[in-house]
Amino acid sequence: MTDDEDDYDRDVSQISDDDMIDYSSTTIYNLPQSAKEIVDTTRHCKVLVKYIKKTNLNRHIQMVEEDNYSPTADEDEKQKQFSKFTTLHQCSVVRWLSLHDLLSSIEKVYYPLKHMLNERTESSRLEKINMSIVTQLIKFLKPWKYVMNGIQLSNSPSLFITLPCIGYLKQQIKKSERIMKGGMSFFIKRSLHLLESMFKTENLHVTGTFLHPNYKQLRYATQIQIIECHTSCRLAIPTSSTLTYSNCNDDNDINEPPKKKPKRFLESLIDDITSPVVLEIKDEVDAYIDL
């Protein structure tokens, strides 16, 4: 860890959350100083990768051998993670996941890249980058990458996944808020504000999630949303088709189809498969939940 990174860690530990910041109106021009450092680090990373590509150094990075380095005791653990086939990835404004890829690639090839730039007397390009900030940015972007990868890999309608994805992102952001301070704290709160202001979870989204067999437990819905969803579903069932089930432990009462293998789409957001609580009397909605 460099002296700049040590200073950053000490500084952010002394920065208290500024509740006076209006996250709805803050722009790039009036960012707090700690947040500007995050933006500057991202910009320096993009400039570095652009330089590496222009000078065709990616090929040299691939050819570098681990035994060309003499890492210190502190560097040894990260040195073991180095892959000689790793290259630096450029960021594109039209690719949602490219910033995460760019930062991750810099972290992976940091030590061989440092050695190579030292030989070319271009080490200042890397010294401008605070690797502590890079690591935090990667952790912050990881949940977003998980959600975007899952959505992009599927061709199915996405209404049902709105509630789980938004709920998952909010959950992960709040976890990050407890451990990240300084400039990262600003962007964490800003992203949480954007999620809450740009995505309004309505009964349509909750119902869409409920009607998907893999998400019917509504893990990320509030109790009020769950009650409203179940009520609207019951009201939508024609009276003539409403059935009442009793003695649900008897397999003859419900003719269930063969169980299918769970889908892999955003698997960690899928319901936990546990034995349902058996009720003496239930309607079609209760029976569906227990399937």
Is residue 70 scored above 60 in pLDDT? no
Cα four-point dihedral sign 56, 61, 63, 69: positive
Q: What percent of the chain has pLDDT over 70?
A: 68
Q: How many CB atoms lie within 10 A of CB 85?
A: 7
Could you tell me which residues come within 8 angstroms of residue 245 by beta carbon, excluding any fewer than 6 positions away?
253, 254, 281, 282, 283, 286, 287
Helix 3-14 and helix 183-198, axial crossing angle in degrees, nearest 10: 60
Q: What is the rounded (10 degree) CA torsion for 85, 88, 94, 95?
A: 40
Is residue 78 scored above 70 in pLDDT? no
User: What does the pLDDT read at residue 44?
Assistant: 94
User: What does the pLDDT read at residue 84?
Assistant: 44
Is residue 10 scored above 90 in pLDDT? no
Contact 216, 168 (CB under 8 A): no
Query: What's the first-to-final CA gap in the chain, in angstroms?
Result: 53
Q: Is the pTM of this model over 0.85?
A: no
Helix 183-198 and helix 131-152, axial crossing angle in degrees, nearest 10: 20
User: What does the pLDDT read at residue 130?
Assistant: 92
Tokens 């990262």 locate to 184
Q: How confident is the model at residue 281 (pLDDT cuts 50, 70, 90)?
A: low
**CA angle at residue 154 from 152 to 155, to 5 degrees?**
110
Contact 183, 38 (CB under 8 A): yes
Domain ranges of the chain: 26-139, 154-291
Contact 272, 217 (CB under 8 A): yes
User: What does the pLDDT read at residue 248?
Assistant: 46
How far is Cα 220 from Cα 226, in angstroms, rounded to an integer?
A: 10
For residue 245, give the 3-state DSSP assignment.
Answer: strand
